[in-house]
A and B are shown apart, each in its own frame.
Chain A
Amino acid sequence: MSAEREAARRKKAASEGDVDRLSALPDGPLQTVLSFLPSRDAVRTSVLASRWRNQWKSVPAVRITDVRRYQSADHLNSFVNYFLLFRGPLPVSEMEISGYDDEDTAAAFMFMEQWIRYGLSNGARVLHVRSNNINERWPLPDGLLISRQLVRLELIDLHVETPILDFSSCHALEDLRMKHCAIKIGRIVSPSVMRLCITYCHFNSNDRTRISFPCLTSLILADCYDRTPVLESMPLLASAFIRLQTGLDCCGKKYETGDCGECHGCDGSYTGINSCILDGLSASKSLELTSPQTEHAPALEKLTLQFPKKPFEDIVDDGTIYDVSREPVALEHLTVEVKCHEVDEKISRILHLLECCGVPSTKVNILSPPELIQLQDTEGPVPSTSFSFEQKKALGAMSLDN
């Protein structure tokens, strides 16, 4: 193409107004665009034109997410190490790190810790870490997650084993999400986290993990395996979604409303706090829920019990009686929705139990068939036995009408 024709073509295209308008954007918006790209794609835009040459360095995001496009763990490691070296100590706002799915887990996980240290020391406010390895979960090093800037943390597929996972030094941390993790932790502590979401995780099979999040306003705990955790007092809790999938909320003696305090895994010293998950939420202190949005302190208003078609022996054990006097729950404002396929003997027993607790049958609404609650997740809803707690948003009259 001759230079003249090229110039004419450019002029024509420019007059149409759609040529390279991206390059014409100011740095701010251009950086925003680049910040959504996997880091290697962001670097590769530097070849487009001189305007783009050094833009990638100041993009405030590090995203190592397109790992399948690398040939090996070494290939990925080599890129990321070069990338961080050339990028230098420029601020990072968001960091997303995924390991390489390689049989050689030593190579796949070799630099994970260093990369995370780089992100945190350069001010990352949002951090996502994923093992992404079919053979093994990356073991999170003790004491790695210390940062004054970190606001949001997501851990996927990690192995977290420590007596205490303590986020006390992460003053700004508000959001914690753990998914598909092995949680072999005695106690998780954070004085600042407001939103906690634990899904598809494996807890200890015998001991309960204690969850100590006094500022929590929103909780999702769903579809986890093994012993359900102990929830300590959460006086600000405004909404919670709990789904017991294959998790056991009864101890070795099938003491279904919590720990018996005697057998292995049950901790008798916490009977004052109540140690079963349902009690953790409905212990009177937690029931007097205060919501920061409203001056009228609403109590727990609605309880949904949802049952699967198949039998659910684990949930309603033979002959166990819920002792209201021993484990009091304040339910005077509660309305209940029971979602089941048919009201059989077991459902009847639950209705009877509710009545014993002070919930008259007029406040119980039986619905069918059960509506499945979809979690924020790509996987579809799983039919299960579930407990769902909702809190009324405003002043509206208490009613069963929907």
Chain B
Amino acid sequence: MAAPESGDGNNGAARMVTLISSDNTRFEVEAAAASLSQTLQLTILDGGGGGGDGIPLPNVDSATLSKVLEYCIKHAPAAANGGAPNATAVDRAELERFDNEFVNIDQSVLYSLIMAAHNLEIEGLQSLVAKKVADMIKGKSPMEIRRTLGFPDPTPEEQAEMNAHMLEYGWAYE
């Protein structure tokens, strides 16, 4: 993924930091975007990640990191605005459109994103992806959920266990 262009001269060049994925791909990104990660924020505030150094992220592969940064870059301006209480309806609608499209991806990518957002402590992204997975579960029967999430069909023992459990939790299945 191409790193975003640095500030185009309006306020001077924005500060850039370099992040290094587990498979050694380097990503140059504005410090403001990377700072959406609570984990990275302190390092960046301390001046880390600049120049040739780079911050290694051994738990995040390049495909996932590229997706994570796509989110951070899009959300950084609103976050800088203090949660954007003054954002216009148009800005909000645009972010919402972006978010909806952003999570329209394979389940395997969703789970990688959940882990990355968890490790990097990017609150908005954690919620966004968790919400998407929750929507896949919402209102479905246990069997439908198993199919949706790619669980293997239950063995007879598992089926018996499920039945016993459903009896015990009758109040939630009435």
Contacts and interface: CB of A to CB of B under 8 A. Distances in A.
A-B interaction: yes
A373 interface: yes
Chain B's interface size range is 35 or more
B150 A38 contact: no
A320 to B, nearest CB: 33
A4 to B, nearest CB: 12
A400 B68 CA distance: 39
Contact of A45 (B86, B107, B145): B145
A36 B139 contact: no
B174 A26 contact: no
A22 B89 CA distance: 35
Contacts of A78: 171, 174
A48 B142 contact: yes
B138 A29 contact: no
Q: Count chain A CB atoms within 10 A of each CB in B131, B134, B158 and give the residue with the most.
A: B134
B153 A1 contact: yes
Nearest to B155: A6
B89 A21 contact: no
A32 B133 CA distance: 10
Interface residues of A, number: 54
Contacts of A311: none
A13 B150 contact: yes
Contact of B173 (A23, A44, A293): A44
Given A13-B152, A32-B126, A79-B172, A25 B115 contact: yes
A20 B149 CA distance: 6
Contacts of A349: none
Interface string B134-174: 11011111100110011111010010001001100101111
A28 B134 CA distance: 14
Interface in A33-52: 33-38, 40-41, 43-49
21 contacts: A9-B152, A18-B150, A19-B152, A22-B149, A29-B114, A32-B118, A32-B130, A33-B114, A33-B133, A36-B130, A36-B131, A36-B135, A38-B138, A44-B141, A44-B142, A46-B169, A47-B142, A47-B162, A79-B171, A390-B86, A393-B86
A78 B153 CA distance: 32
A387 interface: no
Interface string B16-41: 00000000000000000000000000
B169 A37 contact: no
B107 A18 contact: yes
Given A43-B169, A373-B89, A48 B146 contact: yes
Contact of A35 (B89, B130, B155, B158): B130
Interface string B95-138: 00000000000111001001100100000001100110111011
Contacts of A20: 149-152
Q: Count chain B CB atoms within 10 A of each CB in A28, A37, A47, A373 and give the residue with the most.
A: A47
A66 interface: yes
A44 B114 CA distance: 22
A47 B133 contact: no
Nearest to B131: A36
A322 to B, nearest CB: 29
Contacts of A24: 111
B86 to A, nearest CB: 5
Given A9-B152, A46-B165, A239-B86, A40 B172 contact: yes
B171 A22 contact: no
Interface in A362-402: 373-376, 390, 393
Interface in A189-226: 195, 217-218
B137 A37 contact: yes
